[in-house]
């Protein structure tokens, strides 16, 4: 029998008391004007928790007059009632008090009944998140006012049981943190070797041939069929890739994330398999390799190797070198309709190096190993991190499920 089972059998054998979250928390309304010594402003980040405003995003701007800001003390929580759906709730873990925007709600918890870490795990559980979603005030941007916490009941076992659950879940999060740190280190290593391998300074003309991008590739822009034409969108068979698909599914795309019918490819607009795509509008410079006949939306340019270069250019080598093209694109943008864009004529003039085919293959063999480790969503570190995350979420929800004690 595990320690957790022993504690449950000993301290709550007949079930666990369920209490409303509202009964466990107390709203704080202290304003900065009542404490002029507090100057540090915090924001709540979906991914990083509560962070200093200046560390959250470059050029973060908050009001110079913070007298109406709300004071948040260590171990208090803050959230934006209009953005709770994206996870903007966090505890101040720093040891000194700070300020948050007046649009945030700040509250403390009753630590005589519920521990900080147990509370944190519980409010992130699937059960509570689903309750928040069901109880939110509908609108263009939904609200979850402070009073609504009183409508959600959660299991509150004795504190020793809470501490044991926290200990188990901490082990999961620590393992994920270790894997994430390893992934960060591997990505730096990958970038270091990629920069060395793709640096051709000092190479002779016999070793590297420099050619304009437009000489090597046929370039065409994508497009999006009108949604008024339902036949383009229903029961489709042609892959249509967007930049969201690259972010969600890796940078080598072989299956459709979204489908449209063959009518959308009339006029020769279908891009051939084994082409490279790069975003040239809005989110500039993100690129991928497509291995199936496909379409892209209008923010993406497709590059297909011209026939005369097929025997001298390894597509995978070009795929890896496109990280330099992406960097070049970001520093050579112009504005079009308010959005950053890369003019296709300018893109064609990008100087592209073609080393000997044997050297291209050597570079690819090395970078393939790093790329799989750092980016492969099925076998690399990202896959292991995702598996650990799912395992953690499964056990978190399981450990936070109790039989309710009868009144």
Whether 389 is covered by a domain: the verdict is: no
Question: Are residue 214 and residue 350 in the same domain, yes or no?
Answer: yes
Whether 131 is covered by a domain: the verdict is: yes
pLDDT tens digits along 166-179: 999 999 889 888 98
Residues 6+ away with beta carbon under 8 Å from 258 = 236, 239, 240, 241, 242, 245
* 382-to-367, 370, 374 alpha-carbon distances in Å: 17, 12, 7
Domain span at 97 = 18-156
CATH number of the structural domain spanning residue 351: 3.90.220.20
Question: Are residue 120 and residue 245 in the same domain, yes or no?
Answer: no
Q: Give the whole-angstrom CA distance, residue 361 versus residue 316.
A: 9
pLDDT tens digits along 361-384: 999 999 999 888 887 767 778 888
Structural domain total, the chain: 2
Question: Are residue 136 and residue 216 in the same domain, yes or no?
Answer: no
Tokens encoding 191: 């970038």
pLDDT tens digits along 296-316: 888 889 999 999 999 999 999
pLDDT tens digits along 37-77: 898 999 888 777 888 888 765 445 566 778 899 999 999 99
Question: Are residue 143 and residue 214 in the same domain, yes or no?
Answer: no
Question: Are residue 31 and residue 147 in the same domain, yes or no?
Answer: yes
């Amino acid at each position: 029998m595990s320690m957790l089972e022993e504690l449950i059998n000993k301290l709550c054998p007949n079930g666990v008391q369920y209490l409303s979250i509202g009964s466990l928390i107390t709203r704080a309304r202290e304003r900065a004007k009542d404490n002029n010594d507090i100057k540090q402003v915090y924001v709540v980040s979906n991914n990083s928790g509560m962070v200093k405003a200046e560390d959250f995003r470059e050029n973060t701007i908050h009001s110079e007059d913070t007298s109406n800001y709300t004071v948040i003390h260590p171990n208090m929580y803050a959230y934006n009632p209009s953005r709770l759906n994206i996870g903007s709730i966090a505890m101040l873990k720093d040891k000194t008090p700070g300020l948050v925007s007046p649009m945030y709600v700040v509250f403390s918890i009753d630590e005589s009944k519920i521990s900080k870490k147990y509370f944190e795990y519980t409010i992130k559980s699937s059960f509570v998140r689903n309750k928040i979603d069901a109880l939110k005030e509908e609108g263009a941007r939904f609200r979850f006012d402070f009073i609504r916490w009183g409508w959600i009941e959660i299991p509150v076992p004795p504190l020793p049981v809470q501490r044991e659950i926290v200990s188990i879940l901490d082990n999961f999060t620590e393992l994920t943190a270790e894997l994430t740190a390893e992934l960060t280190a591997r990505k730096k290593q990958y970038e270091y070797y990629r920069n060395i391998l793709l640096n051709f300074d000092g190479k002779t003309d016999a070793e590297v041939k420099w050619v304009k991008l437009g000489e090597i590739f046929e370039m065409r822009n994508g497009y999006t069929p009108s949604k008024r034409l339902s036949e383009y969108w229903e029961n489709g068979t042609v892959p249509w890739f967007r930049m969201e698909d690259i972010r969600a599914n890796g940078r080598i795309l072989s299956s459709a994330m979204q489908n449209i019918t063959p009518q959308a490819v009339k006029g020769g607009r279908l891009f051939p398999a084994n082409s490279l795509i790069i975003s040239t509008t809005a989110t500039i410079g993100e690129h991928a390799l497509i291995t199936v006949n496909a379409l892209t939306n209008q923010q993406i340019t497709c590059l297909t190797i011209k026939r005369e270069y097929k025997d001298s250019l390894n597509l995978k080598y070009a795929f890896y070198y496109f990280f330099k093209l992406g960097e070049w694109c970001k520093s050579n943008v112009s504005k079009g309709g308010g959005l950053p864009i890369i003019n296709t004529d300018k893109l064609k003039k990008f100087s592209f190096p073609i080393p000997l085919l044997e050297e291209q293959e050597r570079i690819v063999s090395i970078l393939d190993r790093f790329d799989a480790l750092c980016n492969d969503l099925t076998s690399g570190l990202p896959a292991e991190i995702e598996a650990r995350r799912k395992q953690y979420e499964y056990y978190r929800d399981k450990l936070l499920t109790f039989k309710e004690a009868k009144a």
